Amino acid sequence: MDSISKDVALKFCKICEWAYEVWVTHTHLFDENEARDNNIEKSAYFTRRLCMITQEYALQQIAKLHDPAIQGNSLNLTIDYIVRFGEWGEKASDIEKISNELFALWKHLKAARNKIIAHNDLEAFMANSTLGSFPKDMDIEYFTALQALVNEVHEKWVGGPYLFSDLAKTDVLEFLALLERVR
């Protein structure tokens, strides 16, 4: 008997899609916004704060996906849960490969999660050092791998792929266009 139901699989897909949407929102508002001076940068202090909020929230959503499947008496719906309890059979090595790809980014983010994002670690704050940096485009690779895992999960328990929505990107672009018009 499979320990993951269709409902659990769908919930996992939606949790992963939320992490993707949050990341896309931050990325298109700040990192890939070539017209920042004409839209989002009108209020520098507010913009810096909004950038930090969206960045930390995106990283927190990624971090939650990497919590262990079992913590004390609780189960967490995470990548570890899906990998461990998915009964993957002949696909086990493919799923493990995807999991390892996802872990590559997580290794870079774990210190930031443990010291700054989830806690107010005194030593980390006083050192004022950068935590959680990763090589360029590793986040894109991460979400490509996450999409692959979600597709495998959806295929097994529901049928067919589960494609992440691009509505968050569209919403950001419409928002930025609106800001440019009110300039």
| Average pLDDT value for residue range 161-176 | 94
Dihedral in degrees, nearest 10, Cα atoms 44, 130, 55, 142: 140
Q: Provide the token pair at 113.
A: 């999660």
Q: What are the residue boundaries of the structural domains of the chain, listed by start?
A: 6-177
Dihedral in degrees, nearest 10, Cα atoms 92, 95, 100, 101: 150
Q: Where are the beta strands (DSSP E) in the chain?
A: 70-71, 74-75
**Confidence at residue 121, expressed as pLDDT on a 0 to 100 scale:** 64
Where does residue 89 fall: left (phi above 0), alpha (psi -120 to 50 degrees), or beta otherwise?
left
Question: What is the C-alpha separation between 183 and 180, in angstroms, rounded?
Answer: 5
Kindly indicate the confidence band of residue 46, based on its pLDDT and cuts at 50, 70 and 90: confident
**Confidence at residue 122, expressed as pLDDT on a 0 to 100 scale:** 81
How do residues 3-31 score in pLDDT, each as one tens digit?
Answer: 899 999 999 999 999 999 999 999 999 98
Dihedral in degrees, nearest 10, Cα atoms 167, 100, 121, 127: -100
